[in-house]
Amino acid sequence: MNAPHNIIDTGAPHAATVVARTEESPTIFTLQLRLDNAAAQAAYRFAPGQFNMLYLFGVGEVPISIMSDPEDRNGIGHTIRAVGRVTRGLAALKPGDKVGLRGPFGRGWPLQEVSGCDVLLVTGGLGCAPAVSVIHYVLRRRERFGKLVIIQGVKHAEDLIWREQYDRWAKLPDTQVMVAADEGAAFWPWHVGRVTELFGLASFDPKCAVAMMCGPEGMMHAAADSLLARGLPESRLFLSMERNMQCAVGRCGHCQFGGAFICRDGPVFNWGEVKSLKSHRGF
Amino acid sequence: MFSHPDHAEFLPLDQLPVLVEKLMQRGYQCLGPTVENGAIVMRELQSPDGLPRGLQAEQSPGRYQLTRDPHNRYFAWANGPQAIKPQVFAARESLWQVRRDASGTLAFEAVVPDVPPQALIGVRACDLAALALQDAHFLRDGRRDAQYAQRRERLFLVAVQCAEPGATCFCASTGDGPTPTAGYDIALAELADGFVVVAGSEQGATVLQTLKLSPATPQQIDASRQQGLAAAAAQTRSLPGHNLRDVLMNNLEHPRWDEVAARCLACGNCTAVCPTCFCHAEVDEPALTGQSSEHVRQWDSCFGEAHGHLHGFNVRPDIRSRYRQWLTHKLATWHDQYGRSGCVGCGRCIVWCPVGIDLTEEVAALTAEIQP
């Protein structure tokens, strides 16, 4: 749980260049960024689950979780959905364009502590980047982990991005992939119905497993109930939370969740740390 | 303040302007009580004898009215809407700026405020306690806020014992007043013919050495002590002395939250006048030339709709959840963050609430019939 707080700068952003842009869906895109200062780029380290603040000139900043592999020194990947002023502007960027970057911030997934154990990823909604970065992380270090269980729920079949990847992951050994869409579509090979119907089918060893969740609150509560009922210790259940981070360093107050500053103490939390307050709306 | 009464000295009434003069000579911009828009606020004193006398302020829920002090004292007024907070955590300031050249390259630069050393004259114990909480937030180990630190390091604080608390004050119950005990450079207690004065820092002691002081007599020390006790006893409002964390967090669905939400306008006045509220928004302001932009922070409020905004979702869409966020943060989860309640008993949120919502009354209702 103790990802390094290796902040490279607490003040102004670093200038960064878009080195590649990938269209993932009509509203989702991935930006590969590289810090213009070579020494800063070389020194940049992060843990999966941490996030950066990306700045669009004259418009503002948004918190975006880091998508790429921590050992990839060529660039820093961010998968973004165009939903607001800044993200719609970021969507219009091309390779060579400039942005600002502050980070990395927060506490990432507890990947160092789960060697040898099964890894469950439970995600919902459109392109859950914080969890997909864990899938890539595990697959590139396959020998360090046990079974990999991927459970993804979407509202409509067409909402699933990286669909080929799910097909590919499903064919890998020791990997269980289950995808559910509330509404299916032609040639949809996966489950049609609630993702919660799939939790019972997950194959893992509760004595040596870790589960990581992100997505809608209701889905996470249902997943937590199911996994805990099957014997997964609460200490091995984690989630990533999202709030209106503006400063990213525990100062501006917008991301407070009870006494926690999600930007600093999270965004990854152990279920036990947040479950009681999460059952109340408004925090 | 008088934990070391053997060090207390006496400053005659007519020597108070000399204290201000000495501070001005040492390069301090001196701020003191000033009437502005019918309220007492801290503004720059134009001359050493610029401190007003005979001001008082009647305060009650939703009401603030200046009056005259029949004894013509310097500090017979209870706190106005603002004191220390705006001097260290500016209501609005630039954090960094960025320039874009013709090729599109961005150059970022942090902005550190250029502020003169400031002496605040007449700050109260509640605000010193609030400043310690703001310090804990903005100067946390390993993460010092550059702008706050710059202002904070240049601050010289002349505190005054509150002799005439407002009807809305409850600092005695939070343990933060009415007599200053820490965090000041110089502390004063105003008596009829002068001030019992103590230094709280080396800088404070250095300034006091330049004044014509005599040792305070036991009678003067006792009079100031009695004055503090009387000011505490005069307070009619209070918060429970124990940690309210568990009782509030275990009653998040109490019907009183709905009841107070029906009265609350979500205007955010309480957060603007609260000396410990630290929330701020960060906004970007591009220059008309299109070649540069400023990244500005400005006070924000958890009562505003934007505070809990997420794409497609608002964490706190209703006033009930916003009032509950404010009160539970202030009195409950502040303990988790900084080891004590975030309320210092200044009562400003009660006075400046346009509908007179009284935090002590809400806490009493929320915790009635419930044992801690």
Mutation pick from A256, A275, A277 vs chain B, by most beta carbons of B within 10 Å, is: A256
Q: Is B19 helix (H, G, I), strand (E, B) or coil?
A: helix
8 Å CB contact of B249 and A258? yes
Identical fold between A14-105 and A112-278: no
- The per-residue pLDDT for A25 is 85
pLDDT in tens, B6-43: 689 999 999 999 999 999 999 999 999 999 999 999 99
What is the distance between the alpha carbons of residues A240 and A256, in angstroms, rounded to a whole number? 14
| Contacting residues of A for B98, CB less than 8 Å apart | 12-13, 55, 57, 100
Mean pLDDT score, B73-101:
96
Domain A112-278 has CATH 3.40.50.80: yes
Nearest to B278 among A15, A58, A253 (CB): A253
Are B216 and B9 within 8 A, CB to CB? yes
Q: What is the pLDDT of residues B324-360, one digit of tens each?
A: 999 999 999 999 999 999 999 999 999 999 999 999 9
Distances (CA, A) of B366 to B61, B145, B173, B328: 19, 36, 18, 11
Q: A14-105 has which CATH code?
A: 2.40.30.10
- In this structure, which amino acid lies at residue B22? K
Rounded CA-CA distance B278/A253 in Å is: 7
> Which residues of chain B lie closer than 8 angstroms to A256, CB-CB?
325, 329, 333
Residues 183-212 of A with CB under 8 A from B: none
In which band, very low, low, confident or very high, does the pLDDT at A186 lie, cut at 50, 70 and 90? confident
Q: How far apart are CA A254 and CA A83, in angstroms?
A: 19
Looking at CA atoms only, how far is residue A254 from chain B in angstroms? 6
A chain contacts of residue B324, beta-carbon cutoff 8 Å: 282
DSSP string, B148-182: HHHHHHTEEEEEE--SS--TT--HHHHT--SS--S
Query: CA-nearest residue of chain B to A259?
Result: B333
**B104 interaction partners in chain A (CB closer than 8 Å):** 96-98
Question: Does residue B32 contact residue B119 with C-beta atoms inside 8 Å?
Answer: no
Q: List phi, psi (to 5°) of B23.
A: -65, -40
pLDDT band at A4 (very low <50, low <70, confident <90, very high): very low
Q: What is the average pLDDT across A194-212?
A: 92
Residues 6 or more apart whose Cβ sits within 8 Å of residue A112? none
Contacts of B280 in chain A (CB under 8 A): 246-247, 251-253
Tokens of B283: 């906004």
Give the helix/strand (H/E) hosting A225: helix A217-229
The whole-number pLDDT of residue B3 equals 55
Q: Which of B109, B146, B293 sits opposite A57 (nearest CB)?
A: B293
Other residues' Cβ atoms within 10 Å of the Cβ of residue B255: 10
Q: Which of B107, B92, B113, B94 is nearest to B292 (CA)?
A: B107
Residues 18-77 of A with CB under 8 A from B: 36, 55, 57-61
Cβ–Cβ below 8 Å for A98 and B104: yes
What is the structure's pLDDT at A127? 55
Contact B81, B352 (CB under 8 A): yes
Asked if A90 contacts A31 with a C-beta cutoff of 8 angstroms, the reply is yes
β partners of residue B194:
B12, B191
Residue A174 Cα, gap to closest chain B Cα (Å): 36
A residues 100-129 closer than 8 Å to B (CB): 100
Q: Are A171 and A199 in contact (CB under 8 A)?
A: no
pLDDT tens track for A231-277: 999 999 999 998 999 999 999 999 999 999 999 999 999 999 998 88
Q: Do residue A98 and residue B140 have CB atoms under 8 angstroms apart?
A: no
From the number of C-beta atoms within 10 Å of its C-beta (0-12, 13-18, 19+), residue B200 rates as: buried
Could you tell me the pLDDT band of residue B295, with boundaries at 50, 70 and 90?
Answer: very high
ipTM: 0.93
Residue type, A204: F
B-chain CB neighbours of A241 within 8 Å are none
Residue B116 binned pLDDT confidence (cut-offs 50, 70, 90): very high
CB contact under 8 A, B105 and A15: yes
Q: What is the pLDDT of residue A250?
A: 95
Task: Give pLDDT, residue A118.
Answer: 96
The pLDDT tens digits for A145-158 are 999 999 999 888 88
* pLDDT over threshold 50, residue B122: yes
- Residue of chain B with shortest Cα separation from A283: B315
Structure confidence at residue B1 (pLDDT): 58
Contacts of B315 in chain A (CB under 8 A): 243-244, 282-283
The 10 Å CB-count burial string (b at 16+, else e) for B281-314 is bbebeeeeeeebbbbbbebbbbbbeebbbeeeee
Q: Which residues contact A163 (CB under 8 A, 6 or more apart)?
A: none
Mean of per-residue pLDDT scores for chain B: 95
**pLDDT of A6 strictly over 50:** no
Domain edges within chain B: 5-89+106-233, 245-367
E strands, chain A, are 14-23, 28-35, 51-56, 60-65, 76-81, 98-105, 118-124, 148-156, 175-183, 191-192, 209-214, 237-240, 256-257, 260-261, 268-270
Q: Which residue in A59, A243, A261 is closest to B284 by CB distance?
A: A59
pLDDT tens readout for residues A62-83? 999 999 999 888 899 999 999 9
Cβ–Cβ pairs < 8 A, chains A and B: 128
Give mean pLDDT, residues B137-141.
90
The predicted model scores a pTM of 0.93
Specify the pLDDT at position B307. 95
Asked if the model's pLDDT at residue A131 lies above 90, the reply is no
